[in-house]
Amino acid sequence: MPWHWATSAMAATAVLLALQVALVLSEYAEPLVPGEQWQKQKPGWSQRGAAVNLPGGRWTNDAQDAFFDGSRLCARLRQPDTSFKTRCTHVIADQTFRVSAAGDFEPDGASEMLYDEYVRIDYPTDMVPGSWQQSSRNSKLQGSILETELQREDGTWVQTITSVLHWHFLENIDGTFYIQRAPCASLGVCVYSYVLKLDAKDLYCTRAVCDPIKDRDQCCDRVESCAAMTSCDRSQSLVPDLNGWCRDRACDQILDQDICCVPAAFCDGMQCLPGYVLKLNAHEIQCPQSMCFPEGDRDLCCEQQGVCSDLPYSSADCPVGKWFNSDSLCAQRQCNNVTDLGICCQPAMRCDLGLNCSHGFVPKADYEQIYCLAPECSETDHLLVCCDAAAPCSDINCGHGYYQLSDTYCGSTECNVTEDFSHCCLRSAECSTLQDQSCPYGYWFDHDERCLRDPCDSNDRSTALNLCCKPSEPCSSLTCLHGFVYKTTYLSLTCLLDECNMTTDLGRCCDVAAHCDTLSCGHGFTPDPLANDTYCPATSCDINRDRDLCCEAAPECAVAFTCPHGYTSWPDTYCDGVVCDDTRDRDICCRPAMPCTAVACPTNYVTRFDTYCRGVTCEIVRDLDWCCERGMALMYYRFLPTDLRLAGYTVVQMSDFYLYNQQIVVEGFDQAIFYCDPCDTPVNGREDPVNLGDGNSETKWLDYSRNGFYVKLPAAQPIFSYSFITGNDEAIRDPILWQLWGSPNDVDWVILHEITDRTLGESIVPTARATSTLQVSIEVPCFAPTASHIDNAANVTCEEGDLLRHNTNCTPVCQDGFTPNIDAILCQNGELTPDIFSCA
């Protein structure tokens, strides 16, 4: 093969590059890649594209500048006159080509070449290979017609005739021919840069027809790269074609020179690395290899471009909207201060198109007129060019119930409450959204209060407490209602809410006060009637504290209460009220007194009737005067008329007669016996003295001879007065003058009273019939001094006898041989003066 092709392949590379197709630099293959795969390229960069398989066949031996565009294969083909001309052909399926004698593409029919291969790899040509032979007999191959008997699986034989091609490998499947897998040899030739393996006759493709691409690695070996050529004639500037391949597995240093040794490449086919440009004479400079390498041959082929920074310019020298890119490269090695300005001044980006002010920044006022001095705005470099720092929301005081998030900003460099409030200030959640709404004592949960943020941080109890729990008003702000008192601990107590409310807090702060009526006022005091709506200043009343409040001094019984008859006042007692009450206080102030009958009265004294000692027991010293009075207890009395209303008249009459002790009819008077001696009463017995005591003024006593009558009491009793009731008729029979006698023993008698003056008598005795006289007092007589108390006195100490009438004298009598020390003792109202005498 002539070396031209390899040279041309090199050129084809350039063409392909120009056609935007480049070598695939497979990660797995060696850097210099076989020519059968090309890839569509984009300008400037090596990147993967759609794989393109060059058709197989021998055409590559006679072609340059091949490119394959879809189904169209074009290449410059060797002409009969050894010149090259571009020819194209359409490729169908796995068609293979060769260059015809006329210098054009023609299908590289496998048959002929296959036959050669068959021969070359020693297939027997007189028979059809394949496994069918083991189950056949009587085979006969005539030309391409195979006639044989095939054995079926049931052991029978079937006569079969088929047309075969040289490369057919047949198999017998139950008496029928099938094409077995094709032998690799049927490929004829491998794709570019590959040759059939030496043992290809024992190798098979995967299917009945070999696929030059899919079966390539099964059937073919790669040929050696031209790089292995050491025999190229460097004196003629021939070097190994680094993109080319030798004919066989190992390069033949002689035979392969024609395809592997190519002229060294010129610099002008190479693209310099960025920052470099080809030297002006690059087309004259030859690289040392068959291709120029941008890095290795950089300094050979390229020179550095000038950098814009070489120019004495800055962005200020660029027109508006452009920036001076000092890193940019000038067109040539030397920057031109005129022509390169257009290169170095590059379109800048307007702030409003290229940069969104980041969080916390706001566009400058003339944002739309500001450019980032760069192709693109970058936040790092241009933030402060385009934007101003926004004022932080914290410049606004949101006030109670709002909160701010950190890292929030106002819409401008200064906060404007009107505009920024709504996004700077967030409403905090209401305390009522908290689940746990308990507050400690002394605090109340304010549902309307707001937390520090939204939602409330319910995990932070202490914050919630500080915010949502408000101090309650102390109980001391509440005035307990009338009838209530502060609880004793009220200084440490609080109302429920921030304001004390009588309804809800009364029970919290106050106790029901004890009413004064629960206080027992104690001795000498009585509940103050005006304190009926007064309460002690505590839950219970205390006598020491509250007595003045609830009580008044009670009137002392001794002063303010008069005990009734039969009772005696009780010392140091007080009425049970501010005013003593006869009924209520009797048993408080008084005790039943002992009747004076317990006191033995001395001589000439009688026990006062119905009188009680001035104490519960009688004491002589105290009660003697009280219980005993001058008087005489007598059992017998005698009324003796001495003249009648009709003077000198003798018929005396009287309806009833009464004796009194202390104005009361004497005790036992109803059992008194009335009698007369002598008597001159009517014989019919109807007007006997007994009528005087019957209490019936219709009955009367009458005596024709003005005899008197006697009364005998059941027991001796003192009397102090008497009265009688006039008879029913005949006033002339009324006694006007009379005597009343008394006797203790019906032996010794004494005059108790005597009327001797008619005028007095008539004033006492009414003329009206059956009408009572006034009570007439008697004169109290005296007993003679008791002999037992006077030494040597006579048994009867008075000459006048044992009984002495009022206003009469006693003449003392001593025993014989003795003389009284006085001559007379006067009896007046039962009292002797002197009351004693002595005998000497």
Residues lying near ligand NAG in the complex (CB under 6 A): 312, 337, 354-356, 416, 418-419, 501, 503-504, 529, 532-533, 795
Tell me which residue of 139, 174, 173, 170 sits closest to 156, measured CA to CA. Answer: 174
Q: What is the DSSP string of 516-529?
A: GGGS---TTEEE-G
Nearer to ligand NAG, 415 or 654 (CB): 415
Nearer to ligand NAG, 312 or 648 (CB): 312
DSSP assignment letter at 122: T
Least CB distance to ligand NAG at residue 507 (A): 12
Nearer to ligand NAG, 111 or 819 (CB): 819
Least CB distance to ligand NAG at residue 794 (A): 7
Residue 465, burial from CB neighbour count under 10 angstroms (0-12, 13-18, 19+): middle
Residues whose CB falls within 8 Å of the CB of residue 134, separated by 6 or more in sequence, listed in order? none
Here the tokens at position 690 are 């007994």
Sign, CA dihedral 210-213-215-217, equals positive
Residue 828, burial from CB neighbour count under 10 angstroms (0-12, 13-18, 19+): middle
Nearer to ligand NAG, 413 or 707 (CB): 413
Least CB distance to ligand NAG at residue 528 (A): 10
Least CB distance to ligand NAG at residue 311 (A): 8
Nearer to ligand NAG, 22 or 500 (CB): 500
Least CB distance to ligand NAG at residue 337 (A): 4
Nearer to ligand NAG, 369 or 416 (CB): 416
Tell me if 726 sits within 8 A of 734, measured CB to CB: yes
Residue 246, burial from CB neighbour count under 10 angstroms (0-12, 13-18, 19+): buried
Residue 651, burial from CB neighbour count under 10 angstroms (0-12, 13-18, 19+): middle
Least CB distance to ligand NAG at residue 398 (A): 16
How many whole angstroms separate alpha carbon 741 and alpha carbon 634?
10
Nearer to ligand NAG, 349 or 692 (CB): 349
Nearer to ligand NAG, 419 or 677 (CB): 419
Least CB distance to ligand NAG at residue 420 (A): 8
Least CB distance to ligand NAG at residue 383 (A): 12
Nearer to ligand NAG, 224 or 505 (CB): 505
Least CB distance to ligand NAG at residue 515 (A): 10
Residues whose CB falls within 8 Å of the CB of residue 489, separated by 6 or more in sequence, listed in order? none
Least CB distance to ligand NAG at residue 795 (A): 4
How many whole angstroms separate alpha carbon 66 and alpha carbon 77?
9
Nearer to ligand NAG, 84 or 783 (CB): 783
Tell me which residue of 187, 189, 193, 203 sits closest to 248, measured CA to CA. Answer: 193
How many whole angstroms separate alpha carbon 554 and alpha carbon 527?
8
Tell me which residue of 699, 656, 706 sits closest to 680, measured CA to CA. Answer: 706
Least CB distance to ligand NAG at residue 313 (A): 8
Tell me if 128 sits within 8 A of 146, measured CB to CB: yes
Nearer to ligand NAG, 725 or 813 (CB): 813
My answer on whether omega of the bond before 834 falls inside 30° of 0, hence cis, is yes
Nearer to ligand NAG, 529 or 668 (CB): 529
Nearer to ligand NAG, 142 or 418 (CB): 418
Query: What 3-state DSSP class applies to 67?
Result: strand
Residue 320 CB-half CA count within 13 A: 3
Least CB distance to ligand NAG at residue 503 (A): 4
Nearer to ligand NAG, 358 or 406 (CB): 358
Least CB distance to ligand NAG at residue 27 (A): 36
How many whole angstroms separate alpha carbon 222 and alpha carbon 195?
6
Nearer to ligand NAG, 209 or 502 (CB): 502
Nearer to ligand NAG, 349 or 740 (CB): 349
Distances (CA, A) of 814 to 55, 500, 787, 804, 825: 202, 103, 9, 17, 14
Nearer to ligand NAG, 355 or 451 (CB): 355
Least CB distance to ligand NAG at residue 529 (A): 5
Tell me if 782 sits within 8 A of 801, measured CB to CB: no
Query: What 3-state DSSP class applies to 340?
Result: coil
Least CB distance to ligand NAG at residue 334 (A): 9
Q: What is the DSSP string of 479-545?
A: PPPTTEEE-TTGGG-B-SSSS--HHHHHHHHEEEPPBGGGS---TTEEE-GGGTT-B-SSSS--HHH
How many whole angstroms separate alpha carbon 353 and alpha carbon 376?
9
Nearer to ligand NAG, 413 or 458 (CB): 413
My answer on whether omega of the bond before 718 falls inside 30° of 0, hence cis, is no
Residue with structure tokens 């001796």? Answer: 716
Tell me whether strands 803-804 and 37-40 are parallel, antiparallel or unpaired: unpaired
DSSP assignment letter at 707: -
CB atoms within 10 A of CB 27: 5
What amino acid occupies position 65? D
Least CB distance to ligand NAG at residue 511 (A): 19
Tell me if 820 sits within 8 A of 812, measured CB to CB: yes
Q: Which residues of 538-556 are buried (b: 16+ CB within 10 A; e: fewer)?
A: ebebeeeebbeebbbebbb
How many whole angstroms separate alpha carbon 438 and alpha carbon 458?
12
Least CB distance to ligand NAG at residue 532 (A): 4
